[in-house]
Amino acid sequence: MNAGRFVGASVAVFVVRTLLNYLFYGMAMQGRYEEMAAAHPGMFREVVPAFITLDLVCAVLITFLVVKAAAAFGGGLKGGATLGILIALLGPVICNLYYFFSVTYYPLDFWGIESVYQIVTHAVQGAIAAAIYKAA
């Protein structure tokens, strides 16, 4: 593994991931979260530095998996996007299903919207990791 290309791809994925999460969770879905928080005071907290740190950890892990395993899924952008979709399904989508079946304030439509977002954004992140690592 080329360390310079790995770091470059990880940084690119981190920037894109953080920007997409801000646009989706911080802007587009903010009203829904405010509604749920108002209906259930004290149930939610916003720790933005922790969110950004987790985005960095995820970016490094996604890039590592793409570099090591994307070839098994066709390589290049296709392999990176396919691996990103599998990561989304195994991580946030299934996790949100557990959440949906565990609490009463997480509606089905919200799960659907969030799941589609996670699948698309992880596909994009996987493709970016593959493109940057290969092109650098």
Euclidean distance between CA atoms 52 and 18, whole angstroms: 7
**Separation in Å, CA 28 to CA 4, 32, 61, 99, 119:** 35, 9, 26, 21, 17
Q: Domain range spanning residue 68?
A: 3-135
Q: What total number of domains does the chain contain? A: 1
> Each residue of 105-115: pLDDT tens digit?
888 999 999 99
In this prediction the pTM is 0.91
Question: Within the chain, which residues score under 70 in pLDDT?
Answer: 135-136
